[in-house]
Amino acid sequence: MLSLASLKRQFYVGKVLSQTTSIKVKGKEQLQTTWQVTIGPKRRGELSIPRLRIGKQRTSPITVTVVSSNGSGLKNKPSAVTIQTSIDRPRAYIGEVLTYRVKLLIRTNLSQTTIEPPTGNKVSVSQVNGDSKSEELINGMPVITLTRTYLVTPADTGNIRLTGAVFKGYQVKNGKVAKVQTRRKGKDILMVIKPPARKGTWLPAREFKVKQSWQSDSNGKFKVGEAVTRHIEIRTKGLAQSHLPDLNFSYPSSVRVYNEKPTYESKSGYSIMHFKQVLIPREAGTILLPGMKLKWWNTAKSASSNANIAAKKLVVNPSPDKAVDLIDRPAGTDIDSGWLPEMPAMPQSLSSFFSWQGVALLFAVMWLISTAFWLRTRKRPSPIITPGMQKQEDTLSALYQAALDKDAVKIATLFQLWQKGHLAVPLQKALNTEVDNIQNAEFCENKKGWTNKKLLKLLKKARSHKNIKKMMSSLANITPE
């Protein structure tokens, strides 16, 4: 073990580094250990580095001459702390993000250190997380290097003076903290800020990249009611996160859209925005999902540029679900359109029965039945069930089953296809709110669990409301003409 007690009498002892390596001498392996000791003299004159003991071994003494700062050996003795500041672009555009760096060269022990950021009129300053710290030898002296980065965004045009960052700390000598504070201030920087180079949305950046991806469980074959996820990433350099553009797409009514809240991050000098949407086709056919063109200003080239978000064409097939197929049936379709099964052909053996006697008998029976039916309808009217009513009944049943299955995608699709105009307004609002809550919980960034109890209760109430209305309609008098 290396003993440094004797060295501390005339020198300040800094960091001690040791390194052990394995070498071969005449075919035999030996271990070699090297120590590196950083020292600083406590006074001027001739000083002796004493013998240092390592186990049973000792080093030879070394004599050194220490001169004052006015001596010929050290005419430009560096101070205990040196501060260096810089900005990447003193001439910039309004809204452009500039990188301001503070570099400290520390040559002594310090305590209670602080760095005050640069300041200026009508500029915003924010610190980038994480300082860079290292140790190196400069002119044979150990120096601790600390680098801190700030982002400066001018909010006005013209000449702006940026006051330099300030370092404060107390030196530690002989184990004691000095009473006088060490203060170093960076140079002021005069910035020339230019106005926007064009009208419209102003996006000044050195780099502006857009990436888009699509995700679906259907392997490119889209169907009604199946979700499609659109993910857009915008990566910029030189543009603040607060200035990243809003993405507002005009989708057709045949698509239901669920927007997730954009997320932001900073990485390797880039400001990154992640934007995600969940799209659910409501109808079969060809659907064009719109794109967007973003105009931005390239500050490195002083020229306008475009970033394109491509549109996408979806070919949506009908859902194989029977309820959805029934709902998609064209309005006004009758028996002749092929929706009801064709009646089987009558056997030829029976056709001979229908002679004129049989026809007469058949008409007599039919007349008696129709007369009895007419008399009965005068006493008790029957409810009228139209194909449209049957269609909505099937939709409601399918929606109830989707709620039982907790299928959020199918709930959204069937709910949109279900006509709810006959319901009371409070019940309609309650249903809309609950379905929106389910969709938000299912498709939000941090997927949440949800329960179907409230929706099932509301659907039962809607079905009861429908039955009551059907009973009321049956009380209306039906008088044949």
CATH code: domain of residue 149: 2.60.40.740
Q: Is residue 241 part of a domain?
A: yes
Q: pLDDT for 418-474, tens place per residue? A: 767 678 888 888 888 888 888 888 777 666 788 888 989 888 888 876 555 554 454
User: Which of these, 59, 86, 74, lies nearest to 164 by C-alpha position?
Assistant: 86
Closest C-alpha among 56, 44, 61, 55 to residue 7: 61
Please tell me the distance from the alpha carbon of residue 443 to that of residue 466, in angstroms, as a whole number: 31
**Tens-place pLDDT, residues 335-345:** 333 333 343 44
Question: Are 216 and 302 in the same domain?
Answer: yes
Examine residue 348 and state whether it is found in any structural domain, yes or no: no
Query: Which residue among 263, 291, 317 closes a domain?
Result: 317
- The domain in which residue 256 lies consists of 204-317
Enumerate the H helices of 106-243 as residue ranges. none
Mean pLDDT of all residues in the chain?
79
Last residue within a domain, chosen from 148, 167, 194: 194
Say if residue 121 is in the same domain as residue 166: yes
Q: What are 85-111's pLDDT values in tens digits?
A: 999 989 999 999 999 999 999 988 888
Q: 361 and 477: one domain?
A: yes
Chosen domain end from 194, 224, 258: 194
Same domain flag for 164 and 89: yes
Please check whether residue 72 lies inside any domain of the structure.
no
Helices (H) and strands (E) in the chain, counts: 7, 29
Q: Are residues 452 and 386 in the same domain?
A: yes
Looking at the fold, whether 325 and 469 belong to one and the same domain comes out as: yes
Look at the chain and report how many structural domains it folds into.
4
Asked whether residue 100 falls in the same domain as residue 36, the answer is no
Say yes or no: 368 and 468 in one domain: yes
The confidence score (pLDDT) of residue 383 equals 47
Long-range contacts of 61-65 (CB under 8 A, 24+ apart): none
Same domain membership, residue 289 and residue 432: no
Q: Are residues 187 and 233 in the same domain?
A: no
Q: In this structure, what CATH number is given to the domain that contains residue 271? A: 2.60.40
Residues 325 and 453 in one domain: yes
* Residues 375, 423 within the same domain: yes
